A and B are shown apart, each in its own frame.
Chain A
């Protein structure tokens, strides 16, 4: 007993004497993310790990959003300029001089060749962006030439958030395992100091970075993955975290009222919609589709359920992206009109019974489906809710359109900033079903999309005009009920300056841009 007591006394004494870690002169930034990162391999990563990658690696080209909702532009990254050939089948990039990777390897055209070929070889979920690249040649160390099989907008593709980061050729044959053990070899302003998968990542400033650091630059960034939303909020409000994503919509007002923290919102290129099954009755009928689109309670979804944190969608291409048509048709709830349209389409009263599928466990689709069901009930249409796992939902949708769901609710976001990823991936006619889960087939629409795609590399303005025309056509033909464009919402400590979210790289805090 006495021994135990003296041991305890000794421990207490030690604890009192050892002062807590005192304030260090380092400028530390702490960020709280939701789920853990999965894959830190810059050639294959396809999810929120770009929060780390975008600070450790750089692409040839960055996509920069325009001011006040204007269209975005491409700005130099590791490439300083780029030029297409007449036929659009060759792109020549001039590279930045004097850049070295964190492992000491110089950045040059060989590194570009290596990075693109590595992404193609490893076939990550986003590697398809390089499909048109036949070869990359290296006439001199600062010139890289892309030879293509089809004209395609390589600078835009090179600004992708996934599979487009430049990685040191010294990596050789190493695979994801090496990166996921906490190793990195990029040219970016930060280095990976430690990585605990699913828990924490610590980045520190790369003192050999070629670019400049801002006044009050961040020295060390600690990125914590915290699953519990209440805890994320507590950490932010308690000053334990300078930045947080994944805050609960209902609490944002209260968080914004805190004197040390503000809530900041940015455009995001992610949207939410329900795809109508146009392959079978009754939704193969335009009037029925219009009726269903007039029946949705958009106001209730946007303002009550999402507390105004999103904006009602206008067509499938989100606002702020070239190809979005500001004058496309936007439905508002009008139950009388919906009822009249159903009668016109020859649908007998109380005879329609439809099913909607959505991914179980995510709250927004659940709530959207519930209010839709109530609204449809009031015009005599019965809606059956079918929440299921994404895999099961997708399997049902791709098996046989005749027996599949009537409405398929889902979120969508592009791999790089192009409305082609919305228009073509989701609505262009498909021989075997991939993501056109409306089973929509419209030759006029396909022609507009193809015209836009053909001139994408060579004539951005006419390409955007074709895409806008396609967006307008689609909105009027209503193969889906377009619900909302997401906004990115973050809680940010007031002493952090210059935080701007770039919708092309959602989740990313650009650590060399912010300061304290």
Chain B
């Protein structure tokens, strides 16, 4: 199956599915927020508002119209990137997301980079000698990394690196001094990247040091996952005949491990990391709150507590789109790595 279809058709079909999923998610989030017991007009009008004000807000928000009309106006605005005004911050939600999403992406990208740079090589080394000391140690490491709760690790890291050693900053994206005297010009919204682009070395150093602890905390689970997935996937590949052949030909074992075996073992690892990426996007909230990282997770948590339903809808939608896009990219990468995989 699939061979009779061109790659382009496949991608189009996949995109069609993606659109369908997004529409479904938008309908579900829309309905869910309408079923909440709180009256959005009263929330919008603010505390101690008069009945007239609340009625005015209802008309202003279009809440007096039938549900179907409300959904289409919501969907139409969302397509144009307009998610309305947050009840809580009184700011346009699109500008809030533009401000908070890059910070989370910076954190999640860094965590993923750490997972790939640490988890995969360790997994390969562990697979080189199954049952060896390295294998046993990394197994223990991976399990503890994946099982220890991130908020606990975060606080322990703060205790060690801020309170005892005083090597790394406690929280935030940059220090007050940098903010005041070497401000990083916002370009992408990712502190470290913007500092590099703006050649602000003092700012870069500061932003990088601020990024270390939260990124490390967030990366523990993906590192453990990547390590174990690589290890077990490598275990299967290493038993393949072509590996034995390569060994017999006297090719160095490092070369075999990293060049021949890893390429074939990478597919499941990528899939899992793709899923983890999307999960971390909203799952970063605990880390964001503890490190006061101005990301989308902390933003949506505050919104949930305040029943700020336009924000909840907007973030759910944006999260869904990012999730689907990342998984599409992972699938495409799979296809490139392994010619047997087709995009179904």
A contact residues vs B (CB 8 Å cutoff): 14-15, 17-21, 24, 26, 28, 30, 35-36, 38-39, 46, 123, 125, 176, 180, 196-200, 202, 220, 222, 224, 226-228, 230-231, 234-235, 238, 240, 361, 388-389, 391-392, 395
What's the nearest-Cβ distance from chain B to residue A41, in Å?
9
Residues in A neighbouring B37, C-beta threshold 8 A: 388-389, 391-392
CB of B205 within 8 A of CB of A392, answer no
Q: A197-B90, A199-B294 are in contact. List 9 more A-B contacts (CB 8 A).
A: A21-B182, A24-B177, A35-B302, A180-B90, A198-B89, A198-B96, A198-B294, A222-B180, A389-B38
CB of B171 within 8 A of CB of A21, answer no
B contact residues vs A (CB 8 Å cutoff): 37-39, 42-43, 46-49, 53, 88-91, 96, 99, 155, 158, 162-163, 170-172, 175-182, 201-202, 204-206, 208, 289-292, 294, 298-299, 301-302, 305, 307
CB of B204 within 8 A of CB of A14, answer yes
Closest residue of chain A to B286 (Cβ to Cβ) is: A228
Residues in B neighbouring A19, C-beta threshold 8 A: 202
- A198 touching B302 in the complex, CB below 8 Å, given contacts A176-B90, A228-B290, A231-B292: yes
CB of B38 within 8 A of CB of A231, answer no
CB of B39 within 8 A of CB of A38, answer no
Residues in B neighbouring A231, C-beta threshold 8 A: 170-171, 289-292
Closest residue of chain B to A181 (Cβ to Cβ) is: B91
Residues in A neighbouring B176, C-beta threshold 8 A: 28, 30, 222
What's the nearest-Cβ distance from chain A to residue B100, in Å?
9
Alpha-carbon separation in the docked complex, A36 to B47 (Å): 16
Alpha-carbon separation in the docked complex, A30 to B175 (Å): 11
CB of B290 within 8 A of CB of A230, answer yes
Can you report 9 residue pairs joining A to B where beta carbons are below 8 Å apart? A14-B204, A17-B201, A20-B205, A21-B177, A38-B88, A200-B179, A231-B171, A234-B158, A391-B307
- A227 touching B298 in the complex, CB below 8 Å, given contacts A36-B89, A46-B46, A125-B49: yes
Q: Which residue of A14, A39, A238 is within 8 Å of B170 (Cβ)?
A: A238
What's the nearest-Cβ distance from chain B to residue A415, in Å?
9
What's the nearest-Cβ distance from chain B to residue A301, in Å?
25
Residues in A neighbouring B182, C-beta threshold 8 A: 21
Would you list the 3 A-B pairs with minimal beta carbon distance, nearest first? A21-B177, A18-B201, A391-B38
Residues in A neighbouring B175, C-beta threshold 8 A: 21
Residues in B neighbouring A220, C-beta threshold 8 A: 180
Residues in A neighbouring B294, C-beta threshold 8 A: 196, 198-199
Alpha-carbon separation in the docked complex, A30 to B171 (Å): 14
- A361 touching B180 in the complex, CB below 8 Å, given contacts A38-B89, A224-B292, A240-B170: no
- A15 touching B204 in the complex, CB below 8 Å, given contacts A38-B89, A196-B99: yes
CB of B289 within 8 A of CB of A228, answer yes
What's the nearest-Cβ distance from chain B to residue A179, in Å?
10
